[in-house]
Structure 1
Amino acid sequence: MAEDFGRLLLRLGVGGLMLFHGVHTLLNGLDPVKTMLEAHKLPDVLAYVVYFGEIVGPLLVIVGLFARVGAFLIAVELAALVALGGVAQMIAITPDGGYALEVEALYLAGALAILLLGPGKLAIAKGRYQ
Structure 2
Amino acid sequence: MTDDIGKLVLRVSVALLILLHGIAKLQNGIDGIAGMLGGYGLPAFIAYGVYLGEVVGPILVIIGLFTRIGALLMVGNMLFAFGLAHLQELFSLGQSGGWALELQGMFLFGSISIALLGAGRYSVGGINGRFN
Aligned-partner SS, 1:129: coil
For residues 64-109 of structure 1, what are the alpha-carbon distances to aligned partners after superposition, in whole Å with 9 as ceiling and x for unaligned? 0000000000000001110112111110011221211111100011
Q: Specify the alignment match of 1:31 in structure 2.
A: 31
Identity %: 41
Q: Specify the alignment match of 1:101 in structure 2.
A: 101
TM-score w.r.t. the length of structure 2 is 0.95
For residues 8-56 of structure 1, what are the alpha-carbon distances to aligned partners after superposition, in whole Å with 9 as ceiling and x for unaligned? 0001001111110010000000011011111111111110010000000
AA partner of residue 15 (structure 2): G
Take 1:93 and 1:62, find their aligned partners in 2: how far apart are those partners? 31
Take 1:5 and 1:44, find their aligned partners in 2: how far apart are those partners? 40
Q: CA RMSD in A?
A: 0.8
Moved beyond 3 Å, runs of 4+: none
Take 1:33 and 1:46, find their aligned partners in 2: how far apart are those partners? 9
Take 2:78 and 2:67, find their aligned partners in 1: how far apart are those partners? 16
Aligned-partner SS, 2:109: helix
In structure 2, the gaps of 5 or more residues are: none
AA partner of residue 40 (structure 2): H
TM-score w.r.t. the length of structure 1 is 0.97
Q: Specify the alignment match of 2:131 in structure 1.
A: 129
Take 2:9 and 2:95, find their aligned partners in 1: how far apart are those partners? 31
Aligned-partner SS, 1:119: coil
AA partner of residue 17 (structure 1): L
In structure 1, the gaps of 5 or more residues are: none
Take 2:22 and 2:87, find their aligned partners in 1: how far apart are those partners? 22
